Amino acid sequence: MTQHLVELIARYGLTIVVASVLLDQIGLPFPAMPMLIVAGALAVQGTLAATPLLVFCVLACLLADSLWFELGERYGLKVLRTLCRISLEPDSCVSQTQLRFDRWGSNSILVAKFVPGLAVIAPPMAGAMRIGWRRFLALSTVAATLWVGAGLLAGAVFHRQVTAALAALDRVGNLALVLLLGLAALYVAYKAVERARFRHLLRMARISVEELYELVQAGAEPVIVDVRSDAARTLEPHWIPGALHVPLHDIGTHVAALSRDDEIVLYCNCPNEASAARVARILRAHGFRRVRPLAGGLDAWIAAGYDVDTADGVRRAAAPTPRAPAPRRQLPRRSP
14: Cα separation from own chain's centroid: 30
Give SS3 for 266.
Answer: strand
Q: Are strands 244-245 and 291-293 parallel, antiparallel or unpaired?
A: unpaired
Torsion sign over Cα 106, 111, 113, 117: negative
Closest CA to 225 of 328, 333, 322: 328
Q: Are strands 308-310 and 238-239 parallel, antiparallel or unpaired?
A: antiparallel
What is the rounded CA–CA span in Å between residue 276 and residue 224? 11
| Stretch 247-253: mean pLDDT | 82
Closest CA to 103 of 225, 230, 228, 226: 230
More confident of the two residues 271 and 259: 259
Q: Tally helices (H) and strands (E) across the chain.
A: 14, 7
What is the rounded CA–CA span in Å between residue 174 and residue 184? 16
Q: What is the pLDDT of residue 273?
A: 80
The amino acid at residue 107 is: N
| Stretch 312-318: mean pLDDT | 55
The amino acid at residue 139 is: L
The domain limits of the chain are: 2-201, 209-316
Q: What is the pLDDT of residue 154?
A: 93
More confident of the two residues 101 and 233: 233
The amino acid at residue 266 is: L
Which residues share a beta bridge with 309?
A: 239, 315
Closest CA to 255 of 202, 213, 291: 291
Q: What is the pLDDT of residue 56?
A: 96
Q: What is the pLDDT of residue 313?
A: 59
Q: What is the pLDDT of residue 285?
A: 87
In a 13 Å sphere around the CA of 222, the CA atoms on its Cβ side amount to: 24
More confident of the two residues 230 and 110: 110
Closest CA to 97 of 61, 129, 134, 142: 129
pLDDT in tens, 24-53: 898 887 778 988 998 898 888 888 888 999
pLDDT in tens, 117-175: 677 888 988 888 888 899 999 999 999 999 999 999 999 999 888 878 777 666 666 66
What is the chain's alpha carbon radius of gyration, rounded to the nearest angstrom?
A: 24
More confident of the two residues 36 and 314: 36
In sequence order, what are the residues at sequence separation of 6 or more whose Cβ sits closer than 8 angstroms to the Cβ of residue 243? Answer: 224, 225, 226, 267, 325, 328
Q: CB of 268 within 8 A of CB of 227?
A: yes
In sequence order, what are the residues at sequence separation of 6 or more whose Cβ sits closer than 8 angstroms to the Cβ of residue 184? Answer: 29
Answer yes or no: is pLDDT of 318 > 50: no
Q: What is the pLDDT of residue 94?
A: 57
User: Per-residue confidence at 329, pLDDT binned at 50, 70, 90?
Assistant: very low
Closest CA to 320 of 310, 335, 305: 305
More confident of the two residues 116 and 317: 116
DSSP character for 113?
T
Which residues share a beta bridge with 316?
A: 308
pLDDT in tens, 73-108: 888 777 877 776 665 555 555 556 666 676 777 788
CATH class of 209-316: alpha beta
The amino acid at residue 87 is: S
In degrees to the nearest 10, what's the CA dihedral of 13, 15, 18, 19?
-120
Q: Which of 193-207, 210-224, 318-332 has the highest mean pLDDT?
A: 210-224
| Stretch 274-296: mean pLDDT | 89
The DSSP element (H or E) to which 169 belongs, if any, is helix 159-172
